A = this chain, B = another copy of it.
């Protein structure tokens, strides 16, 4: 049985996508409960300026809290070197920095073109190395961009190699916009790996905007991807598609992977209970997913022990 790492990004990607601020205590209960359900990696927040994103103001406290949970890898997003310094001081195990493959998206989101972003990644990598922290670069808008439309695969391959050159220790292909289709997922994984080596591209970060999220996971699994980001309850949603979750829904992803015979180490029934923490802390906030309504199949336990 192959081990697959489900990386929970809800406390970062989910919460930064909604306006309400989840109380620190609820975030802690969420993180602790997911770890207790068997989740082994959680992106607990983002080291962005609190004035810009008050939802993430307590990230350092969350890192300190999560570091005390045995066996949990604690990740935080950093937008730049300043954030990386804060993350390293807070004691993260790993930091991730998004690098937009679409230059228009990069300019609009972080006011940096590609050369400026690569310089930033080099600075962040130096900080990471100094502190012995892992650094993953998220190749965002890798499957298409809401400004530019298609993003050429050759450009993604070139920038992926440049990110490694700048000091990235690992890459993630990120479908920020929900554009990916399964054929494209397989193709782009192969092309990027051909350029940087198989071991450096381990992760897919998928959104479910057009309902293709789990279909793209299957494509990723076929290519040997071993880490998938997901968000409990698909928290955050998609502003352009009222019925669509933001990230992959952790509950549905875990149901699928466990049923297929992959080892995630996650207890689905415990995970489904964690959802209640979100319901309690963010009353009325839309949550997504099919498994929470339908429940596991009657023969779910036979499947996962087969």
A interface residues (Cβ-Cβ under 8 A, vs B)? 144-146, 148-150, 177-179, 181-184, 208-212, 214-215, 217-219, 222, 238, 240-244, 249, 252, 255-256, 259-261, 288-291, 293-295, 297-299, 302-303
Pick from B181, B222, B260, B302: contact of A259, CB below 8 A.
B181
A211-B214, A211-B291 known; A297+B260 contact, CB < 8 A: no
Q: Are B150 and A215 in contact (CB under 8 A)?
A: no
Q: Are B290 and A260 in contact (CB under 8 A)?
A: no
Q: Are A302 and B150 in contact (CB under 8 A)?
A: yes
A234 smallest CB distance to B (angstroms): 10
| Cα distance A114–B217 in the bound complex, in angstroms | 37
Copies in the complex: 2
Give 19 new A-B contacts, CB below 8 A, not counting A148-B298, A150-B299. Answer: A150-B302, A179-B297, A179-B298, A181-B303, A182-B256, A182-B260, A184-B259, A184-B303, A208-B290, A210-B256, A210-B290, A211-B289, A214-B215, A215-B217, A215-B218, A218-B218, A222-B222, A243-B243, A244-B294
Neighbouring B residues of A288 by C-beta, 8 Å: 243
A81 smallest CB distance to B (angstroms): 32
A215-B256, A218-B182, A256-B181 known; A294+B210 contact, CB < 8 A: yes
| Cα distance A253–B179 in the bound complex, in angstroms | 14
| Cα distance A303–B214 in the bound complex, in angstroms | 20
| Cα distance A181–B293 in the bound complex, in angstroms | 17
Q: Are A290 and B211 in contact (CB under 8 A)?
A: yes
Neighbouring B residues of A219 by C-beta, 8 Å: 218
Q: Are A256 and B212 in contact (CB under 8 A)?
A: yes
Which B residue's beta carbon lies closest to that of A215?
B214
A297 smallest CB distance to B (angstroms): 5
The 3 closest A-B pairs by CB, nearest first: A211-B290, A150-B299, A241-B294
Pick from B148, B183, B211: contact of A260, CB below 8 A.
B183
Which B residue's beta carbon lies closest to that of A178?
B294
Most B-side CB within 10 Å, residue of A222, A238, A256 = A256
